[in-house]
Amino acid sequence: EEPEGHFLEQAELPDFKLISKIGEGAFSKVYRAIPQANSSKGFLHKTFRQVAVKVINKEDLPSSNRDSKSKAASKDQVLKEVAIHRTISASENVVSFVDFHESRHFYFIIQELLAGGEVFGEIVRLTYFSEDLTRHVIRQLALAVKHMHALGIVHRDIKPENLLFEPIDYIPSQVPVLRKSDDPKTKEDEGVFRPGIGGGGIGAVKLADFGLSKQIYSTNTKTPCGTVGYTAPEVVKDERYSMQVDMWGIGCVLYTLLCGFPPFYDEKIDVLTEKISRGEFTFLRPWWDEISDGAKNAVCKLLEVDPAKRYNIDEFLDDEWLNQYDCLRGQRI
Ligand code: ADP
Ligand code: MG
């Protein structure tokens, strides 16, 4: 009889020294770690001083029962995540894949460390972002999505928790953090410039977490994966539009960055589901009063219920607001 849970021990991952836990998801814990110079992975030490290790406990996986069939299914799930991560890793706006390791009780996905952590944490810290900072973040997210969609892969889990960033130390003092606002909480910050944290300290932004990602199109043939000839029309349409779920995700992130709260929310899950299915959101006063029409237009084009009318990634990359000059541009190091 096996014990229920297994503690993570260093011996399960001998080539990397685990330092501290830096994040957690539904089925994983993520650690900061150091490649061991005197190990078989010693060569990594030269490229990556530190890495992030996503640790998946085999017993935590949703379908992992004791029977071998479901164990195989959940292993397939992890291998799929790894395969997709490998495929898309080349983009500078995607977290780099480094290595994969399996021990008796765990899977380990070793990745480039994004020392800033989640963009989500910066929303909590700053309440909301200026339009310039928002553009700086969203443009990089869009480039990551462009890269994935070009390879026929849809992310399907775009949210501020899965957006990571590299911190930057130096930011010109002319970068405003907060807009002028009627919100009494921020009133005293009007016109204040914050040297050092002007960009929220956000440098390169990279998309992470490919646990729900899916290959939709094969890149060579530009056709849906699977047999085409016998596919029902609703399936063909579904496949064509399934990329558009990421555009909705970008819309939700864009909205949230600009005002500090998500476009759709309700305590009751059925009410929330209904609001989303109708695409019912508002530019709530006073938070949205001073946000530009260009930004609002981009949100509307992304949070469009009909996936055929919704911005696709190329249309969004051409969006006027997204392409406005901003002072954070070129600040990436
Ligand atoms: P899950 O699939 O369980 O959601 P994620 O891959 O999203 O797992 O990782 C969970 C959390 O761990 C992230 O939200 C983030 O806070 C942190 N994290 C993941 N990868 C990295 C990384 N490469 N660098 C820094 N933090 C990371
Ligand atoms: Mg996640």
**Residue 270 is encoded by which pair of tokens?**
């059925």
Kindly list the protein residues that place their beta carbon closer than 5 angstroms to ligand 2, a single-atom ion: 25, 162, 209
Please confirm, yes or no, whether 246 is among the known catalytic residues: no
**pLDDT tens by residue, the chain, 333 residues:** 334 457 888 889 999 999 999 999 988 999 999 998 888 877 887 788 899 999 999 988 776 566 777 777 889 999 999 999 999 999 999 999 999 999 999 999 999 999 999 999 999 888 999 999 999 999 999 999 999 999 999 999 999 999 999 988 544 333 444 444 444 444 433 333 343 344 558 989 999 999 999 998 877 666 677 667 888 888 888 887 899 999 999 999 999 999 999 999 999 999 999 999 999 999 999 999 999 999 999 999 999 999 999 999 999 999 999 999 765 554 433
In eight-state DSSP terms, residue 57 is: E
In eight-state DSSP terms, residue 96 is: P
Ligand nearest to the CA of 95: 1
Ligand 1 centroid – CA 120 distance (Å): 12
Q: Is 54 annotated as a binding residue?
A: yes
Taking the model in full, what pTM does it have?
A: 0.86
CA distances from 170 to 7, 135, 198 (A): 40, 19, 9
CA distances from 295 to 62, 134, 298, 321 (A): 39, 10, 5, 6
Rounded CA gap, 171 and 164, in Å?
19
Are the C-beta atoms of residues 64 and 70 closer than 8 Å to each other? yes
Helix ranges (DSSP H) in 176-292: 184-187, 233-242, 244-259, 269-278
**Nearest CA among 33, 17, 148, 151 for reference residue 95:** 148
Q: Is the CB of 15 under 6 A from ligand 1?
A: no
Whose CA is closest to atom 18 on ligand 1? 23
**Residue 206 is encoded by which pair of tokens?**
């990279």
Instruction: List all residues 6 or more positions away from 198 whose beta carbon is below 8 Å from its beta carbon.
Output: 171, 172, 173, 174, 175, 176, 177
Among the listed residues 15, 67, 76, 157, the single catalytic one is 157
Ligand 1 centroid – CA 208 distance (Å): 7
The alpha carbon of 9 is separated from its chain's Cα centroid by a whole number of angstroms, namely 29
